[in-house]
């Protein structure tokens, strides 16, 4: 099945996407991760988007739709796709709908992860990520192990994101409310929307998502 994880920065989209990859053999397509990879490898596109991302603004629709199109053309996701952080505008949502139709695929479910802004500041400023495998940690709720080795891959390369500061987070939240939250109504009207409480524990959020997916199967 093909699903979208929709929610503001820090809602837990990446955390839950990784669980679904492990449990359901799905493919995670995170436009944020793809853009950060382009920056790390120093491509022209990576250089173009760096400042925009660090400020917390949205990258152009053209760039992110192009990234998703490339992935859909090159991947073969037996267990389906998890769209994490895409779409983020109505134009992106329309483009995704067209891409899936062209592939003969459906969108099965859109999971809206509901959280409040205060929790997001705490989550984002406490986050770190394994640079080798992308495992997500949090100083308060999922700390880096005492031996400083990633529990998933054993590497010792923990990184903080350049946009994980209060100022960029404010801009990212505004971008979410202005440009992305209209997608809640868009997918509700199509009958695809399921909402979960993103403030619950990571395991409880996973259980709610599993139940929402069962209802859409
Ligand atoms: P992106 O990388 O997508 O960032 P984001 O949407 O701001 O979301 P985050 O990755 O910050 O949060 P998350 O929901 O994945 O939370 P996580 O699981 O890590 O985008 C970055 C930038 O790229 C954008 O600002 C934009 O510039 C650009 N971009 C990307 N896609 C784009 C698009 N489609 N169009 C235009 N521009 C685009 O969890 C956060 C923390 O909370 C972690 O520490 C985690 O351990 C913890 N946590 C998670 N769940 C729980 C829980 N249930 N309880 C307690 N703690 C939890
Ligand atoms: Mg993420």
CB atoms within 10 A of CB 122: 14
CB atoms within 10 A of CB 187: 21
Active site residue 88: yes
Is residue 194 a contact partner of residue 216, using CB atoms and an 8 Å limit?
Answer: yes
pLDDT for residue 62 = 98
Is residue 82 a contact partner of residue 29, using CB atoms and an 8 Å limit?
Answer: yes
- Of 13, 19, 123, 194, the catalytic one is 13
Radius of gyration of the chain from its Cα atoms, rounded to whole angstroms: 17
Pocket test for ligand 1, best of 85, 117, 204 (most atoms within 8 A of CB): 85
pLDDT for residue 92 = 98
The bound ligand whose nearest atom lies closest to the alpha carbon of 161 is 1
Active site residue 123: no
pLDDT for residue 75 = 73
| Ligand 1 geometric centre to CA of 119 (Å) | 13
Residues in the chain: 217
The DSSP annotation for 8-69 comes to STTSSHHHHHHHHHHHH--EEEEHHHHHHHHHHTT-HHHHHHHHHHHHTPPPPHHHHHHHHH
Q: Whose CA is nearest to atom 49 of ligand 1?
A: 12
CA-based end-to-end distance of the chain: 8
Structure tokens at 92: 């992106």
Q: What is the mean pLDDT of each run of 10 residues along the chain (217 residues)?
A: 96 96 94 95 95 96 97 83 98 97 94 93 93 93 95 95 91 96 97 96 97 92
pLDDT for residue 74 = 85
């Amino acid at each position: 099945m093909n699903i979208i994880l929709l929610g503001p920065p820090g809602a837990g989209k990446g955390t839950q996407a990784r669980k679904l990859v492990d449990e359901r053999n799905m493919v995670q397509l995170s436009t944020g991760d793809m853009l950060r990879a382009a920056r790390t490898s120093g491509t022209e596109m990576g250089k173009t988007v760096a400042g925009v991302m660090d400020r917390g603004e949205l990258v152009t629709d053209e760039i992110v739709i192009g990234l998703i199109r490339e992935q859909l053309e090159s991947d073969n996701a037996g267990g389906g796709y998890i769209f994490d952080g895409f779409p983020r505008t109505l134009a992106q949502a329309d483009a995704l709908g067209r891409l899936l139709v062209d592939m003969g695929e459906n969108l099965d479910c859109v999971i809206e992860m509901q959280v409040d802004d205060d929790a997001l500041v705490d989550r984002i400023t406490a986050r770190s990520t394994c640079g080798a495998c992308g495992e997500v940690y949090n100083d308060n709720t999922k700390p880096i192990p005492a031996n400083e080795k990633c529990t998933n891959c054993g590497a010792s390369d923990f990184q903080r994101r350049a946009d994980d500061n209060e100022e960029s987070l404010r801009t990212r939240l505004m971008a979410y409310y202005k440009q992305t939250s209209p997608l809640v109504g868009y997918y509700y009207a199509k009958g695809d929307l399921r909402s979960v409480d993103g403030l619950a524990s990571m395991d409880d959020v996973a259980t709610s998502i599993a139940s929402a997916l069962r209802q859409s199967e």
